[in-house]
């Protein structure tokens, strides 16, 4: 079970780093399963660097919906 808050917080860094924050030792396969399960790839595929895109402090380079989707993905990674 995971909780995604309305007012989310992302760390300065990449999308990948934020997704893996609660479980940094997750495998690439687990990461990709979470990315596809939460549909994060639907917006990261449009970025030149994909999930390795820098998102800025508090995720300022992402929309509100993209930030929440990122948190769903984080929950998926945490649960595996």
Q: What is residue 63's predicted lDDT score, i.e. its pLDDT?
A: 83
Q: By the 8 A CB rule, do 75 and 2 touch?
A: yes
At 60 the pLDDT is 82
One pLDDT digit (tens) per residue for the chain, 80 residues: 455 555 567 888 999 999 998 899 999 999 999 999 999 999 999 999 999 999 988 778 888 888 888 878 888 888 76
67's enclosing H/E stretch is helix 64-79
Distance, in Å, from the CA atom of 28 to the CA atom of 52, rounded to the nearest integer, reads: 13
Query: What's the pTM value of the predicted model, to 2 decimals?
Result: 0.83
Residue-level pLDDT at 80: 66
| pLDDT score at 6 | 55
């Amino acid at each position: 079970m995971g909780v995604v808050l309305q007012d989310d917080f992302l760390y300065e860094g990449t999308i990948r780093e934020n997704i893996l924050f609660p479980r940094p030792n997750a495998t690439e396969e687990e990461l990709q399963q979470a990315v596809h399960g939460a549909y994060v790839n639907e917006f990261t595929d449009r970025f030149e660097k994909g999930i390795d895109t820098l998102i800025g402090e508090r995720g300022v380079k992402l929309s509100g919906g993209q930030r929440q989707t990122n948190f769903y993905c984080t929950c998926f990674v945490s649960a595996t």
